[in-house]
Amino acid sequence: MGKADWTEAFLTGKRAAGDRRTDALERELAAAGQSDALDRFMREVLLNGQIPTDLPGALQAFLHETEALPPWADQAAIRKAELLFNAWGLPAMAALVGASLPECYTMRTGVRILALTRQLGAHTNRRLHQTAAMILAVMGVGGLQAGGRGIVETQKVRLIHAAIRRRILTRTEPGTPTPEPTSTAASVTDVIAQRGFEWDVDRDGWPINQEDEAFTLLTFGYVIPRAMRTLGVPLTDEDCAAFIHAWNVVGFVLGVDEDLMAWTYADAEALFARIKAGQGGPSPSGTLLTDSLLGAIENDLLRARMLHPLAPILVRMLVGDETAKMLGMNARHGPVVTLCHRVVVRVVRFTNVFEGPLLKSRLGLRLSAWLGGRLVADLASKTYRQAHPEVRIPQGWG
């Protein structure tokens, strides 16, 4: 499909659609008397990051089925996206935290579910780190090969989405009992009940619906290279298409309909704008998550207090005035933002004077990818520790 096919009526229909495969999985589990299997899976993954070893047969079959790549997967394009992300490690990470994640928070309806899952457990930033860990796993070298870390992390996310979707649909039904409030919400059910969460399918669409999933996919496949370009990285349209292709493969594993996938940079730009025009806007949840993200950037990445003001400057620079206002930042591109942008672009372009020729040679490409990859790996190691403090860091992540 292309721009002309993504009409308002088409996108509205996608808001009423969920994940047919996991819906069928739920029915299969219910028939076997294992309706709580998805909840137990989500709890185990959120607690320690590991896929349980005692899964019901239906869940094991699902994981085996969905680990296969689509027949149209282009390993050359995937490899290009991985190498570019790792070779340009610092701008890529800045694009991820300063543009990709904030754009996720502009969806005024779907972002309520992101805010909901943020409240699970005592560590309010754990879900943020888990999201970052999944993205880094996908973009790590070999992440999208059969059995790769990116495939496994995506499968986890898909099943967590299924569990959350099921809980929202069941726990928002009239007459559902409300548990006693506790200081720490241990499950989605607790959070829904204790925080007064409401979801109306007629008004809000299906929870974690196809349109929201497609937009989230674009915040990674389209927004990351867009932001890297803003930072001065010399990506061609072909390079950007490689990013988009890699994330379309993720979308396939995630259960996103293929008619909601863009294949060129221009089409991705158009689809992103159309969905955002219909669903984007300010919301309390978006503001809450943006504040949390800025705090994570300040404390986990910038560290030094004197550097903390750079966090909102980075976001404003990469998402623009209109989106910054949606996120509750209520800021414009003032002189400081403009000056910072110019300095960063010049630094990246100066780096490209030396790195550009290296990237054109096989040896140089490997060297650059290794150096950039070490930066990504170091950040991924910290991110994984934040997301999964109880488990050992996976081999290859520091």
Query: Would the pLDDT of 210 be above 90?
Result: yes
Q: What share of the chain has pLDDT > 70, as a percent?
A: 73
Q: What is the pLDDT of residue 382?
A: 56
The domain spans of the chain are: 38-49+56-109+123-168+210-385
> Under 8 Å CB-to-CB from 359, ≥6 apart: which residues?
87, 365, 368
User: Which letter does DSSP use for residue 209 in this model?
Assistant: -
Query: Would the pLDDT of 386 be above 80?
Result: no
Q: What is the pLDDT of residue 7?
A: 93
CB 85 within 8 A of CB 139: yes
Q: Which residue has the higher pLDDT, 267 or 186?
A: 267
Question: What's the whole-number mean pLDDT along residues 282-305?
Answer: 84
Query: Would the pLDDT of 201 be above 60?
Result: yes
Q: What's the sign of the alpha-carbon dihedral 239, 80, 344, 379?
A: positive
Q: What are phi and psi of 280, to 5 degrees?
A: -75, 150
> What digits encode the pLDDT tens for the residues 70-105?
999 999 999 999 988 888 877 888 898 899 999 999
Query: Would the pLDDT of 390 be above 60?
Result: no
Query: Which pLDDT band holds residue 131 (cuts at 50, 70, 90)?
Result: confident
Query: Would the pLDDT of 270 be above 90?
Result: yes
Q: What is the pLDDT of residue 379?
A: 55
> What digits encode the pLDDT tens for the residues 215-264?
999 999 999 999 999 988 889 999 999 999 999 999 999 999 999 999 99
d(CA 197, CA 301): 32
Q: SS3 string of 26-51?
A: HHHHHHCCCCCHHHHHHHHHHHHCCC
What's the predicted TM-score (pTM) here? Answer: 0.83
